[in-house]
């Protein structure tokens, strides 16, 4: 079995970090496109929609929001694991690219995404209640 060097692993981890960063961004863009599409269809008055279809669209909004939130959380977990591994490798290699980054704060991209998903979920739940009531 061939083993790589810490430098090779560091390069792979850096590539993985870039890939997951792009994945996180792409998922968020796709979520907003789906959210906007469902919003337009659900609230467009023409043609008139039956209460069953209106209910289905709002349930679809809840399901889509939950699915994208789960995907975002999973991708974030992988990104964080790769960042932790990069920091360990930096200690071995004498690098400081990831270990000298900004400290973890409550105001970060992952939490901002969570707030957006919570707001979207709340929107669809309220919209569903208004249709059903």
**Sequential pLDDT tens for the chain (133 residues):** 457 899 999 999 999 999 999 999 999 999 999 999 999 999 998 888 899 999 999 999 999 999 999 999 999 999 999 999 999 999 999 999 999 988 888 899 999 999 999 999 999 999 999 988 7
**How many independent structural domains does the chain possess?**
1
d(CA 119, CA 112): 11
> Residue 67 domain-assigned?
yes
> Residue 84 domain-assigned?
yes
d(CA 43, CA 94): 56
Find out whether 121 and 66 touch, Cβ atoms under 8 Å: yes
Residue 87 structural domain: 6-132
pTM of the model: 0.90
> Residue 1 domain-assigned?
no
> Residue 11 domain-assigned?
yes
Classified as helix, coil or strand, 105 is: coil
């Amino acid at each position: 079995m061939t083993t790589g060097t810490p430098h090779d692993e560091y390069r792979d981890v850096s590539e993985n970090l870039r890939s997951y960063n792009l994945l996180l961004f792409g998922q968020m863009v796709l979520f907003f496109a789906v959210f906007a599409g469902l919003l337009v269809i659900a609230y467009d008055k023409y043609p008139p929609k039956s209460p069953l279809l209106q209910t289905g669209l709002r349930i679809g909004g809840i399901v889509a929001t939950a699915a994208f939130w789960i995907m975002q959380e999973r991708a974030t977990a992988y990104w964080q694991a790769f960042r932790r591994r990069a920091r360990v490798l930096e200690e071995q290699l004498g690098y400081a690219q990831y270990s000298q980054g900004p400290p973890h704060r409550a105001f970060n991209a992952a939490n901002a995404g969570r707030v957006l998903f919570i707001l979207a979920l709340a929107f669809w739940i309220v919209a569903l209640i208004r249709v059903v009531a």
